[in-house]
Each structure stands twice: as structure tokens, then as C-alpha cells.
Amino acid sequence: MTSAPRDREIAVVAFAQTDHRRTSEELSEVEMLMPVLHEVLDSTGLKTADIGFTCSGSSDYLAGRAFSFTLALDGVGAWPPISESHVEMDGAWALYEAWTKLLTGDADTALVYSYGKSSPGSVRDVLTRQLDPYYVAPLWPDSVALAALQAQALIDAGDTDEPALAAVASRNREAATTNPHAQVSGTVPQGDHIVQPLRTGDCPPIGDGAAAVILAAGDRARDLCARPAWIRGIDHRIEAHGLGVRDLTDSPSTRLAAERAGAFERPVDTAELHAPFSSQEIVLRKALRLGEDVDVNPSGGALAANPIMAAGLIRIGEAAARIHRGRSDRALAHATSGPCLQQNLVAVLEGEPR
Amino acid sequence: MAEVLKAPLVVEFPFTRSLGPVQSAFLTGLRERVVLGVRTGDGRVLVPPVEYDPVTAEELGDLVEVAPTGTVTTWAWNPAPRRGQPLTTPFAWVLVRLDGADTALLHALDAPGPAAVHTGMPVRIRWAGERTGAITDIACFEPYDGHRAEPTGHTGEFEDPVTGIVAAARLDYTYSPGRAQTAYINALSGRRTVGERCPSCRKVYVPPRGACPTCGVATSEQVEVGPRGTVTTFCIVNIKAKNLDIEVPYVYAHIALDGAGLALHGRIGGIPYDEVRMGLRVEPVWTADARYPDHYRPTGEPDADYDTYKELL
């Protein structure tokens, strides 16, 4: 079941995010997280005790702090014990879990949050630890190197070239000038090759940040939000871990997830794509068949702010917030995980006719 | 606000991993300078080989030798090698489809510069001088325009196959405990214990972590507690811990410092272990240059009444 049944509709009713910054060393994770938790609760008028289910996404490897998610739970008022879960994944997958929980009818509201502090470590190296431990991780291929292999494959296939990649980066950062939370916006030089063909400008900023979303079912959603962003479908798919087994110029997992989420049934007006590298937007636009009439990444996307573990949830939050504000009627949100777009989640959100 | 504390933190973990039969044959082969792939049900040869078909999930085991020569399918020039990577001088990351294989292997290519690398270029394996049965037995690839090497038809049977690898990992961090714990640690250096009060339920957390887990709000009002406190519960430790110079048996206790809303833990000394009891009044004992109390000892006051600490066990 990947589309919402008509008798149990679930919506994003609130979204908040931190200002994303290169470092937040003065704050522990819970200190960084609490303001966004309070913001989504305040905007709905809910108290922590009113929340039916809480689900979070984070990774201890980023900051090197064991069990950091248990400490982050202090920020939601987890005592006496609440109904709660955690995924060692981007918060978009925590939202997926919360969506299924609400579908069962066990809860009518859910709080979803995620956070990542990349500043304490070297994120390029940290991400090598998610790779195949037998054949790949011992070579320490960093996240930029793997994205660069994908970018070169796209160039060889004639799908893009360096000027086109620069244009993707520039358009995202230009869009981010209206996003007060963005870490990087406006005119940013493309800079030197980090790993050729990717230049500094093709890569996401490294930073710290957090985000939170509240989901609600049916009439509860209408009570809490003037224009709920209804989740019409959501699905996620994964590809083989072997990079040499995959066609890096395509994303069949994104296409399948989009199909299952109903993305191709009607056109969307907005798409928030989680493409940390400019080259990945090329792959996603193709897989999702997005035309020029779709507003892609009005927030500036992950090239403007990429707090790892939160950047995917932020795509869903940004798409939903646009519906809340009446700027979109049907939006697609995408989140990714793993090297070279290995795993992909697609959600389709709609506002009711105005 | 005082500067937050920071300290280097190194996380190192050698994972010992066992190998499946296909992985074992492949890595043993590398040790012997033989490259093995595995054939899938539809006749494709996967290199590096896996235990299960990535499409059908069928168990695989039909090993096929492929050549140590092949073709670059994509590449990326790395001008600044990082720790642990195959080469210390600038190199190209490459996916290489070895002759006889249908999929590509990730590794490094030693080339003089990006102008010398292109997709479709022929390369061959440069073997490491010392080989142990690991992916790093391939030192790297190198440009090669000679004849394609022919596989010898190896069956994948080896004397003394490798059955496991030790994958060392090291990550370097700069740890910061954040605002609340920095204040706690700074106060300890002046031999004071400072907690934080929840503005909502008024509970004082020691040590503070910056948030009240009951109310879900930030704590910020600093409150000095102790130095004296009450043993709320305890245990007797009879097993000597490694690298710990304390004679057993000794008592480890929950201690509610006066004014604190929850107990912290510490060792009790200065009293025979079998005389420690709930309600015992204690005070911290500091040793020279210590950053926290070495242990707590009896104050000699009368025991605290159970009702005064029953919520702090």
C-alpha cells in the first residue's frame, strides 16, 4: 500500500527547520533541535503530551556521539514513556514510518524530526563507513569521489557537461536567496575541482541543522492547519549496493517510487529534490520526467543547505509549506540516501482546491 | 557565555568480518593474483562477485576467472588523496570492467594527470607487493595498451583460503559537549557541582544536558547543588575492573546531592563496605588535580529520612 486510502488521509500540518550553519559547536544536538520542536508544536497549538507517535532520524557516526538520539529525545518530553521510534536514516524515512503508524489508526498525530551535526567530523570520510565493508570501504572512497564518478558517467552519456552542472548549482543558490534558513545562497563561484568533474560549486555545503514535521490524520489535520498538505502517496525503493552493477546515469529506484506514489498520474507544479550534487539533479529530473514548467527546488535544495539526515525531511517540509502557503497545489518531494542516489523516497502532496 | 569546551575525539574500530564462500574465493584469489567473478543464472559475470544475485536474489557460486586487464567505464580525478585511499599521489578513481566481466570494480588508477585518463581506456591491475586476501591486494590499476591477458581457467579452489578480514576504521572528531555540559564541566574544575533547573517543573538536573526530558523544554537557570548528599541506593562491587586501581569489594552508589532533582553515581569510601546504607549522608573527596570527585565519604551526620529521598532512587 503506497497510496493513502480515501478513508484515512494523512497530511503534513506543520514544518520547521533551523538556520543551517557550518558549525553549531556551542549547541548539543538536543539544544539545536529543541527550537524546531517547539516551533511545530506552537504552530499547531499541540503539547508534547498530545502527540500520538514520535519518530526521528539521525546517525551517531556524523558527530561521533554514541546513542545521541536517546539524548535528543529529552527535547520532546519523553518521560513518562511516549510511543516512539528512531531510524538510522534521513528523517524522510522516519516520516514514512510515522505515516504507516497513522494509517493503522493507532495514532492521529505524529511528530517527526531529524538532525545532523556534520561539523565535529570529516563528513567525506564518515560517509565511507556506509559502503560495502569487503570490497569498497577499505579503499576509503569519499562521498565527493563517488558522486564525481556518477557525474563523469553522465558527461560521457551526453546528459550534461560542466557548464550545465554549473547552471544547476547557480539556479539552486539563486532560489535560496529567498530562503532565510539556507547556508549558501546567491552567487557562489564554481571554484576548483574537488574531484573532477565536480567543482566546489557542484557540491553541497557541509553543515549542521535540524528539522521537524507534524503529521495528522483526517479532520484532526483540518483542525490543526488551514490548508493541510495531504500525502497522496509515498514510497521508497533501493538499488544494488555494488556501484559497478548499476547504471549511474539513471535512477530506476526513483522512477519506481514515484510511480508507486502516484506522481505520474497528474502533473505536479513543484518538486523539491534531494540532490546534494548538481549532477544528481540531472538524473532525478530525467527519472521523474520533470518538465520546464515545474518549479524545481524553490528552497534552493540541498545545494543551499545539506544537514545530513535532515535534508530529505526538509524537502518534504518545504513542499508541504508551499502548499500551506497556497503557493502550490500538487508537489513532489524526494529524499535520497546512500552513494550515487542508491535509495530514493518520493512523496506526492496536495492541497485542497481553493 | 563562556566558550564551549572542545576536545579531539578519535573513534577507532577494527571490525572482524567473516566471508561467505564467494567473497572468500575472490579475496583469496587476489592474494594469489587471480581475479574471480561469479556467473549469474542469466549468464552474466559479476566482478567483484557477490553471494547473491543483485536482481533475483538467487544464491550464486559458479566462479569464473577473468583477466587482470580491462576497460575504464567511468572515472574521476582526485587531486588531493585522503587518508586510507589507495595512492598517496593524485590519482583517478575508476570503475573498471575487467575482460570477461559484465560489471565494473571500483579502484584507483595511477596516471600522470586527468588528461591521461578517459572512459574506454585500457588498464591492468598492479598487484601489491604483500598480499593478504583483501581488496587492497590490488595496489591500483595502471594504463596498459598491451595484449589482453588470458585467464588461466582457475576453478576458485585454493590452499589455505582466507575466511575473514579485519577492516580497520578510524574517524577523527572534535567533540563539543554543548552549552549546558560545558558549564557543568567548567564548574567542576572549581570543585563545584552546578545543575540546571527546568523552568516548567522546577526539577534540577545534575549533570544538566540542556533539556528537561519530562517537559521537553530547555533548562538554563544554573543552580549549585551539594556538596553534601544522600546515598539513595547502592551496590557492592566484587569484581575488579580492568585498569582500575580500586580494591574490591567496594560500594558504588546513587547519590542525591542536596538540591538536586535526581541522583548521580559515585564510589563510597572511608567506611567499611558492609556498613554503607540507604540514607547515609556523604560528601565528595577530591584528590589533587582531579576533574571530578574521586569518591564520597560519610559526613557523620544522622542518616536522612527515607521520605526525603524516596523520589530520587
- Cell match 598492479: residue? B126
Q: What is the model's pLDDT at position A71? A: 84
Domains in chain B, number: 2
- Cell match 577523527: residue? B172
User: What's the average model confidence in pLDDT over B197-214?
Assistant: 92
Mutate to test the interface with B, among A149, A202, A203, A253 (most CBs of B within 10 A): A149
Q: Left if phi > 0, otherwise alpha if psi is -120 to 50, otherwise beta: which for B47?
A: beta
Residue B76 belongs to what H/E stretch? strand B69-78
pLDDT in tens, B182-193: 999 999 999 999
* CB atoms closer than 10 angstroms to residue B9: 16
Contacts of A248 in chain B (CB under 8 A): 74
pLDDT tens digit at each of 354 positions of chain A? 456 566 799 999 999 999 999 988 888 889 899 999 999 999 999 998 899 999 999 999 998 888 888 888 888 888 889 999 999 999 999 999 999 999 999 999 999 999 999 999 999 999 999 999 999 999 999 999 999 999 999 999 999 999 999 999 999 999 999 999 999 999 999 999 999 999 999 999 999 999 999 999 999 999 999 999 999 999 999 999 999 999 999 999 999 999 999 999 999 999 999 999 999 999 999 999 999 999 999 999 999 999 999 999 999 999 999 999 999 999 999 999 999 999 999 999 999 987
CA-CA distance, A223 to A337, in Å (whole number)? Answer: 34
CA-CA distance, B272 to A298, in Å (whole number)? Answer: 70
- Partner-chain residue, chosen from B76, B174, B209, that has the shortest CB–CB distance to A145: B76
Q: What is the model's pLDDT at position A4? A: 56
Instruction: Give the cell for residue B276.
Output: 554503607
pLDDT in tens, A172-201: 999 999 999 999 999 999 999 999 999 999
Residue A272 belongs to what H/E stretch? strand A270-272
The reply to whether B147 and B37 lie within a common domain is: yes
Q: Taking the CA atoms of chain B, what radius of gyration do you get in angstroms? A: 31
The answer to whether residue B2 scores a pLDDT higher than 80 is no
* CA trace torsion A60, A63, A66, A67 (10° rounding): -60
Contacts of B218 in chain A (CB under 8 A): 31, 34
The reply to whether B49 and B142 lie within a common domain is: yes
Share of chain B above pLDDT 90, in %: 82
Residue A258 bridge partners (DSSP): none
What residue in A sits closest to B10 (Cα-Cα)? A64
pLDDT in tens, B234-245: 999 999 888 778
How confident is residue B226, by pLDDT bands cut at 50, 70 and 90?
confident
The reply to whether B18 and B146 lie within a common domain is: yes
pTM of the model: 0.94
Question: Looking at this predicted complex, what is its ipTM?
Answer: 0.94
User: What's the average model confidence in pLDDT over B221-243?
Assistant: 93
- Is residue B221 in some structural domain? no
Task: Look at residues B115, B143, B167 and tell me which one is the last residue of a structural domain.
Answer: B167
B108/A139 Cβ within 8 A? yes
pLDDT in tens, B131-153: 999 999 999 999 998 888 788 88
The reply to whether B157 and B234 lie within a common domain is: no
pLDDT in tens, B31-60: 999 999 999 999 999 999 999 999 899 999
Distance from CA of B275 to the nearest CA of A (A): 35
The answer to whether residue B1 scores a pLDDT higher than 70 is no
- Partner-chain residue, chosen from B47, B79, B211, that has the shortest CB–CB distance to A75: B211
The reply to whether B284 and B163 lie within a common domain is: no
Determine the distance from the C-alpha atom of residue A322 to the mean position of all C-alpha atoms in its chain, rounded to a whole number. 15
Distance from CA of A120 to the nearest CA of B (A): 5
Q: What is the model's pLDDT at position B313? A: 85
B215/A26 Cβ within 8 A? no
Q: Which residues contact A245 (CB under 8 A, 6 or more apart)?
A: B46, B54, B103
Contacts of A125 in chain B (CB under 8 A): 82-84, 171
Q: What is the CATH number of the domain that holds B284?
A: 2.40.50
The reply to whether B148 and B290 lie within a common domain is: no
The reply to whether B158 and B231 lie within a common domain is: no
CA-CA distance, B298 to B283, in Å (whole number)? Answer: 6
Q: Residue type at B15?
A: F
- Is residue B55 in some structural domain? yes
What residue in B sits closest to A135 (Cα-Cα)? B135
The reply to whether B142 and B245 lie within a common domain is: no
Do the beta carbons of residue B187 and residue B155 sit within 8 Å?
no
- Is residue B77 in some structural domain? yes
- Is residue B18 in some structural domain? yes
Q: Give the three-state DSSP class for A113.
A: strand
pLDDT in tens, B57-95: 999 999 999 999 999 999 999 999 999 999 999 999 999
Contacts of A148 in chain B (CB under 8 A): 76-77, 93
- Is residue B312 in some structural domain? yes
The answer to whether residue B178 scores a pLDDT higher than 90 is no
Q: Which residues contact A189 (CB under 8 A, 6 or more apart)?
A: A200, A201
Q: What is the model's pLDDT at position A2? A: 58
Residue A317 belongs to what H/E stretch? helix A311-324
The reply to whether B125 and B260 lie within a common domain is: no
- Is residue B242 in some structural domain? yes
- Is residue B91 in some structural domain? yes
pLDDT in tens, A343-354: 999 999 999 987
The reply to whether B140 and B270 lie within a common domain is: no
Q: Does the CB of A65 have a partner CB in chain B at under 8 Å?
A: yes
Q: Three-state SS across B241-274?
A: CCCCCCCCCEEEEEEEECCCCCCEEEEECCCCHH
- Is residue B239 in some structural domain? yes
Domains detected in chain A? 10-121+205-224 (3.40.47.10), 123-204+231-350 (3.40.47.10)
Residue B251 bridge partners (DSSP): B236, B268
CA-CA distance, B270 to B251, in Å (whole number)? Answer: 11
Domain ranges, residue B56: 7-167
The reply to whether B143 and B249 lie within a common domain is: no
The reply to whether B114 and B244 lie within a common domain is: no
